[in-house]
Amino acid sequence: MCFPAKAEPESVSSVAPHVTNCLHSTFHCVATSEVISYSSSFWQLCSLPPHPAPPPPGGVSAMATSGSSITVTWTPPTLPADRPPVTGYTVTAVPSSGSTPEQLPATATSTVLSGLQRGTVYTIKVVAHSVVGDSMPGSSTVDFSGK
């Protein structure tokens, strides 16, 4: 028969620095009327801290093209190795007159926004998405009066 000898909060930061809120338990077992201290301890009730949303995409650039379109490019945010990856992007033009937000895959680094009106100054926003949340927008302003 085994029973807990101790169960107290401890840190496992030397092994896994991102793991917190663990209980470290040590058990004693009784075998044929002897008490045997047995160090087969384990960690329980561990939780991972929430990862923050990804940083914004960088280098957002918008260039007016012919017709009613703007070409938008950006660089993916740089993420530490322990962060969930970017799962996609949303690109919008503000004001949104005539343009709908573009939903793009994680591999995208450019898109063309169509249906925009000449003579309007647009702020182009690119947001990165991940399983833990959305980034702040990376943005660029373009005067859509030329060509």
Residue 52 in domain = no
The DSSP bridge partners found for residue 12 are: none
What was the pLDDT predicted at 19?
Answer: 44
Residue 13 in domain = yes
Do 77 and 23 lie in one domain? The reply is no
The CATH number of the domain holding residue 83 is 2.60.40.10
What's the domain count of the chain?
A: 2
Chain segment 75-106, per-residue pLDDT in tens: 999 998 888 899 999 999 988 666 678 899 99
10 within 8 A of 22, measured Cβ to Cβ: yes
Do 68 and 136 lie in one domain? The reply is yes
Q: Characterise 98 by phi-psi region: left (phi > 0), alpha (psi -120 to 50), beta (else).
A: left
Residue with tokens 């450019």: 110
Q: Is residue 122's pLDDT more than 80?
A: yes
Do 39 and 68 lie in one domain? The reply is no
Give the whole-number percent of the chain exceeding pLDDT 70.
Answer: 62
pTM for this prediction: 0.64
What was the pLDDT predicted at 39?
Answer: 41
Residue 132 in domain = yes
Query: Of the given ranges (24-38, 69-83, 92-106, 113-127), which has the lowest mean pLDDT?
Result: 24-38
d(CA 44, CA 128): 34
Q: Is the model more confident about 73 or about 47?
A: 73
Amino acid, res. 95: P
Summary mean pLDDT of the chain: 74
Strand residue runs (E) in the chain:
2-10, 22-31, 34-44, 58-64, 70-75, 88-94, 102-105, 110-113, 120-130, 133-134, 138-144
Do 24 and 67 lie in one domain? The reply is no
What was the pLDDT predicted at 49?
Answer: 53
